[in-house]
């Protein structure tokens, strides 16, 4: 099932581990902050979870239902 990758932009401090673990969906901009494709295909769920756990600032979250979300 598809999930959404949500990010707390105020918590993110640009560590960049997420991009290392999920390069299919996360890319870093020139200042080290993630550009995220928020729809996580089912095949990448495990990797997405790993990326969420790895974030030192706990800025990432996986959500199941497509709730009202606003940011990439």
Partner 1 sequence: MTYHHDGSPRAHGAGTGRLTSSWQASGAPATLREHTACYGPLPQATGRARRELIDQVAAAGLTGRGGAGFPTATKMRAVASGRGRPVIVANGMESEPASEKDQALLARSPHLVLDGISLAADAIGATEAHLCLARTRDWLIDTVAAATAERHRAGLDRVAVTVHAMPHHYVSSEETALVRWLNGGEAKPANTPPRPFERGVGKRPTLVDNVETLAHVALIGRYGGAWFRRAGRAGATGTMLATVTGAVCRPGVYEVEAGTRTGDVLSMAGLDGGSEAVLIGGYFGTWHNLPTVADLPLSAGGLRQVGSSPGAGVLVALPAGACGLAGAAKVLRYLASESAQQCGPCKFGLPAIADDLTQLAAGRPDGDPLARLHRRLPVLVGRGACRHPDGAVRMAASALASFAADAQSHAQGRPCAARQPVAAQSGFAVGDWR
Partner 2 sequence: MVSQAASTAARSAMHAAGHAGSSHMASLLAAGAASPSPLWYATRATGAVALLLLTATVALGVAGIARVDSPALPRVVRSALHRNVSLLAVAFVCVHVVTTVLDPFTSISFVNAVVPFTSSYRPLWLGLGAIAFDLLIAVVVTSLLRSRLPYRAWHAVHWLAYACWPIALWHGLGTGTDSKVPWLLLLDALCVLAVAGAVVWRLRLAGNGGIRLAGMIATSAFVLATVVFVAVGPLQHGWAKRAGTPGAAQVARERLTPGASREVRHDISP
Q: Which residues bind partner 1 (CB under 8 A)?
A: 8-10, 12-14, 29-33, 35, 67-72
Distance CA 36, CA 27 (A): 7
Question: Of 13, 41, 11, 16, which Cα lies nearest the Cα of 26?
Answer: 16
**Residue from 57, 63, 66, 72 binding partner 2 (CB under 8 A):** 57
CB under 5 to 8 A by kind: which of partner 1, partner 2, none does 71 bind? partner 1
Site for partner 2 in 5-34 (CB under 8 A): 11, 15-17, 20-21
Q: Assess 49 for contact with partner 2 (CB under 8 A).
A: no
Answer for the pair 69, 59: CB distance below 8 angstroms, yes or no. Answer: no
């Amino acid at each position: 099932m598809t999930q959404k990758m949500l990010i707390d932009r105020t918590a993110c401090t640009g560590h960049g581990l997420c991009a290392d673990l999920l390069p299919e969906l996360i890319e870093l901009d020139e200042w080290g902050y993630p550009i995220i494709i928020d729809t996580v295909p089912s095949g990448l769920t495990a990797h997405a979870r790993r990326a969420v756990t790895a974030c030192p600032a706990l800025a990432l979250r996986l959500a199941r239902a497509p709730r009202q979300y606003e940011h990439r």
